[in-house]
Structure 1
Amino acid sequence: MKLLSTLLFLCLLLAFTSGAPAQEPTEPESTQAALPDRCSGIEFDAIVPDEKGRTFFFKGSHLWKGYEGDAQPSTNFFKELDDIHGIGHVDAAFRMHNPENSNDHDHIYFFQDDKVFSYYNESLEEGYPKTIQEDFQGVPSHLGAAVECPKTECKSDSVLFFKGQDVYVYDIPTKAVKTKSWTHLPNCTSALRWLEHFYCFHGHNFTRFHPVTGQVTGNYPKDARNFFMRCDKGFGHGHGYKRPKCSDIKLDAITTDDTGKTYFFAGPIYMRLDTARDGLHAFPIKRSWREVASGVDAVFSYTDRMYMIKNDKVYIYRGDAHYTLIEGYPKTLKEELNIEGKVDAAFVCPSEDTVYVIQGRSLRAIDLSATPRVVLRDLPLPLSNIDAAHCSSDGIKLYQGGVYFEYATPMLLTASRIAPQPQNLPAQQFGCEE
């Protein structure tokens, strides 16, 4: 029970602090009273991540960088927003998703009144500010919020602009604008896309919505102070948190899918790392894979599918914006992989058709290109009590409690007779104390 509590606290910390930059120097003590406090229940003017994955929260002429720390003048990062043009605040902002055009991909667009500003690496792009109509014809001025929507989640690469309860869907490739009315949503004063989910912020609350239909599923609104910031006033998942020791951490499985996203599984939660810039974030397993909500024994990815092993069953999910269980599953280990018994860990190396399944001190190599599956080799392992395993271009890592062992290839792994020196889990990555 103590271990489960430690894991849950670890994941909550990772969800809101991992990848967050260190707190920046604040204004002199004499001016602290004048700074806005987001833990007091304010309404944000805009929320936007930059090209490095840092999330900025704007209020008036101030902003917060990341999920903790004090407010700072916006001009510390985007000096033209006030020093030259004197706009003082922003109405809306979004990070452009246009991978086919490197000239504006990952740029941040700020909107104020009828003007738009384009920034990259905290520098204003030449030729800006412009009128909104010059860059986004058909989009109104005095916006409430804006958020990008990639074509994997919308019908094409798009931007959603909010004004009152009207939503202007701007199609990036064609520059066409369609207007929708989502009267069931509150008036969004800021919006954020975070790991394929979309959030409308209103007052100190937020509501999650579907970017195509506007549909709201679940119990909303919720207080943003419990999810999008660290507060010391009784709010926030990290309230009263004590960092666990790295030696107390136990992972159940690790895998990387064909889009490059890495998933860490521990008990009833999973942590997902999209890119180093976006940090590590934690969620309950039931959110994405409800059939295995209480946890998994092993997980591996092959082509566009994720294989989850729990007890003597194999669940195969089709990879898309949201994982979907393939019809006819789960199946038994014998039916799907031609093996029986408890599975401790499993991994597939990049561009290979072989899954390596660890059972005690045995490593079984199974041909995934064969139907039915064929066990190619049954080899001895130099280690036992393995919790999780992962293979990447850097080699193989076998996890055992709070340490891991590295091997260059499966062949070297099975040829070893003496285990290599164990290495401690990286404290910075896992948010633990060494």
Structure 2
Amino acid sequence: MKLLSKTLCLCLALALTNAAPTHHEHGDAVKDGGLFLTDRCDGIEFDAIAPDEKGQAFFFKGDHLWKGFRGPAELSNETFKELDDFHHLGHVDAAFRMHNEENPHDHDHIYFLLDNKVFSYYNHTLEDGYPKEIQDDFPGVPSHLDAAVECPKGECGANSVLFFQGHNVHTFDITTKTVKTKTWSHLPNCTSAFRWLEHYYCFHGHNFTKFHPVSGVVEGVYPKDARNYFMSCAGFGHGGGYKVPKCSEVHVDAITSDDAGKTYAFIGSIYMRLDSHRDGFHAFPITRGWKEVTDGVDAVFSHTDKLYMIKGDQVYIYKSAVHYTLIEGYPKSLKEELGLEGSVDAAFACPGTDVVHVIQGKNMIDINLSTTPRTVGQGIPLPLSNITAGLCGPGGIRVFQGSDYYTYDSPLLLAASRIAPVPLKITSGMMGCQD
């Protein structure tokens, strides 16, 4: 797995700076000097939102769309020209990206629903045989839908698609082609729905509400204004005016990769998911994913199906699942859980092993996690000091020190080294910082 193979955007909301052509509700436009003008910051109610096979999100309104979280509006038929060839109402009812790994023929295709028709695109090209009647592909699902969103197995009971019509939600099982209908009267009428970073959002007006895809439960204070999260607008913004730092200012406090391949970097009070490049890379408060941990972390490592967070003299252990859950009885003291005293600067565990390598100052201490009480080894002097984070993966080990990092092939070579290798600099290609 490539650890940091894509540009990482540290912004909590990406900038949209250009005024752009747009239409308002159902294609009704505001005309100025012969041009159709709009700005997402005016508070648009989107008709549909869906990512393509590369993870680029499309926001649809009338006969226009926006590509990604920034950029000007453009005509939908410039990218999906057949939508106009077969349909002239000027807007998409619903859209979603299919998740069906068991059938590569339609996996990652983007589906559009317009009145009673369904269109299937891959690489922005309409598939042969489309458009079709909605019921040809999704028997039992009604026409004239309001919104749709994919729900992979593990987040739903099976690979599914949620179709919204008013307060009714039709859950379509892709494998069995059966439909179960629920009424979620507590949710607003969703004009579009979006799965992003394993969370589900119902968009209504210029607001959104996050919900659980199986129960429909809403946790937290909603609705929230989309302009604070899915675009950047004057007078709006999430994260207290957060700015992308210079690469020389980046300080990684912890970094880890779990058994599912989810890789996280922790910097101050925020974390970033590094592996989900198809959904983009964004920074969030640590409390969003691990609500019990506040004010940053000292070290994080993964072992089996658990994620260990160390803050001060406390250890928090979370059960890995779709979302992390604190194991009952935690946090526990560092002494009780790992047999250590003092503070921890960094920690990492290599996949398939039961040993966590803990760094305290210039010493690395190996702890066997398969024994209770823990078997704690002697401290081994390291060639480096001030290490703040470490990660072990198929490509070896990376240890971070300020805005520099060092690579080693194995923990043994790190422990045996007496001279530090040439430091490497964190770059914009790694973490989206400013060079």
* TM norm structure 1: 0.90
Separation (CA, whole Å) in 2 of partners of 1:141 and 1:267? 48
- Superposed, 1:97-108 pairs within 5 Å as 97-108=99-110
The reply on whether 1:39 has 2:7 as its aligned counterpart is no
Cα distance in 2 for residues equivalent to 1:157 and 1:16: 30
Q: Determine the C-alpha separation between the residues in 1 that align with 2:239 and 2:67.
A: 17
> Alignment partner of 1:15: what SS?
coil
In structure 2, the residue matched to 1:116 is: 118
Asked if the contact 2:9–2:432 (Cα under 8 Å) also holds between the matched residues in 1, the reply is no
Displacement after TM superposition at 1:241 (Å): 5.9
Give the secondary-structure state (helix, strand or coil) at the position aligned to 2:216: coil
Residue of 189, 192, 211 corresponding to 2:191: 189
For 2:313, the equivalent position in structure 1 comes to: 312
* 1:208-227 correspondence to structure 2 within 5 Å: 208-227=210-229
- The farther-off stretch of 77-86 and 30-39 is 30-39
How far apart in 2 are the matches of 1:339 and 1:162? 53
CA distance in 1, matches of 2:113, 2:405: 48
SS in 2 for 1:211: coil
- Match of 1:412, SS state, is helix
State the percentage of identical aligned residues: 65
Residue 348 of structure 1 corresponds to which residue in structure 2? Answer: 349
| Alpha-carbon contact 2:64-2:75 (below 8 Å) kept | yes
Residue number in structure 2 paired with 1:323: 324
**Structure 2: distance between partners of 1:418 and 1:148:** 51
The equivalent residue for 1:151 is 153
Residue in 1 that maps onto 2:172 = 170
Q: CA deviation at 1:288?
A: 2.4
1:87 shift after superposition? 5.2
Q: What is the CA–CA distance in structure 2 between the aligned matches of 1:243 and 1:194, rounded to whole Å?
A: 21
The alpha-carbon distance between structure 1 residues 32 and 389, as it changes in their structure 2 partners (threshold 3 A), is farther
Root mean square deviation, CA, Å = 2.4
C-alpha contact (below 8 Å) 1:190/1:202 kept by paired residues:
yes
Q: Deviations over 1:43-62 (max 9, x none)?
A: 10100011111111011111
Deviation, 1:132, is 0.3
Bigger helix fraction? 1
Task: Figure out how many residues of one structure are paired with residues of the other and give that number.
Answer: 418
Report the CA distance between 1:355 and its aligned residue: 0.9
Three-state SS of the structure 2 residue aligned to 1:291 is: coil
Does 2:295 match 1:298?
no
**Which residue identity does 2:195 align to in structure 1?**
R
Provide the secondary structure at the position in 1 that maps to 2:272.
strand
Per the alignment, residue 280 of structure 2 pairs with: 279
Per the alignment, in what secondary structure is the counterpart of residue 187 of structure 1?
A: coil
Instruction: Tell me, in whole angstroms, the C-alpha distance in 1 between the residues paired with 2:368 and 2:149.
Output: 44
Which one of the candidate residues 12, 17, 26 is aligned to 1:15?
12
Task: State the secondary structure of the residue aligned to 1:247.
Answer: helix
| Structural mapping, 1:249-264, within 5 Å | 249-264=250-265
Measure, in 2, the Cα distance between the counterparts of 1:275 and 1:374. Answer: 35
Q: Take 1:32 and 1:337, find their aligned partners in 2: how far apart are those partners?
A: 70
CA contact (8 A) 2:196 2:279 kept: no
Aligned counterpart, 2:237: 236
Identify the residue that residue 372 of structure 2 maps to in structure 1. 371
AA paired with 1:103? Answer: H
Q: Is the 8 A contact 2:11 2:243 kept in 1?
A: no
Unaligned runs of 5+ in 1: 1-10
Matching residue of 1:63: 65
Residue aligned with 1:391, SS:
strand
Flag structure 2 segments of 5+ consecutive residues without an equivalent.
1-7, 22-31
Distance 2:309 2:412 in 1: 24
Deviation at 1:31, TM superposition (A): 8.6
Q: Distance in 2 between matches of 1:269 and 1:239?
A: 12
Q: CA deviation at 1:414?
A: 1.6
* One-letter amino acid of the counterpart of residue 113, structure 2: F
* 1:54-93 → structure 2 map (5 Å cutoff): 54-83=56-85, 85-86=87-88, 88-93=90-95
Separation of aligned partners in 1, 2:116 and 2:376: 65
Cα deviation for residue 319 of structure 1 reads 0.6
- Deviation readout 1:243-295 (Å, 9 max, x if unpaired): 32111121210000111111111222211134332222222222222222222
Structure 1 contact 145–191 (Cα < 8 Å) conserved: yes
Higher RCO (C-alpha under 8 Å, 6+ residues apart): 2
The 2-side partners of 1:111 and 1:153 are apart by 23
Query: C-alpha distance in 1, partners of 2:159/2:232?
Result: 32
Aligned match of 1:334: 335
1:265–1:241 distance in 2 versus 1, CA, 3 Å: closer
1:395 matched to 2:392? The reply is: no
Q: Distance in 2 between matches of 1:419 and 1:35?
A: 58
1:239–1:341 Cα change, 3 Å: closer
Question: Partner amino acid for 2:337?
Answer: E
For the residues of structure 2 that align with 1:372 and 1:267, how far apart are their CA atoms?
A: 32
On the 8 A contact 2:92/2:113 being kept in 1, the answer is yes
1:9-45 deviation per Cα after TM superposition (whole angstroms, max 9, x unaligned) = xx9843344xx9x999x88xx9994143211111101
The answer to whether the 8 A contact 1:43-1:59 is kept is yes
CA distance in 1, matches of 2:333, 2:243: 41
Distance (whole Å) between structure 2 residues aligned to residue 201 and residue 14 of structure 1: 21
- Provide the rounded CA distance (Å) in 2 between the counterparts of 1:122 and 1:275: 21
User: Closer, same or farther in 2 for the Cα pair 1:44/1:132, shift >3 Å?
Assistant: same
d(CA) in 2 for partners of 1:35, 1:205 = 21
Q: Corresponding residue for 1:429?
A: 430
Q: Which letter maps to 1:100?
A: E
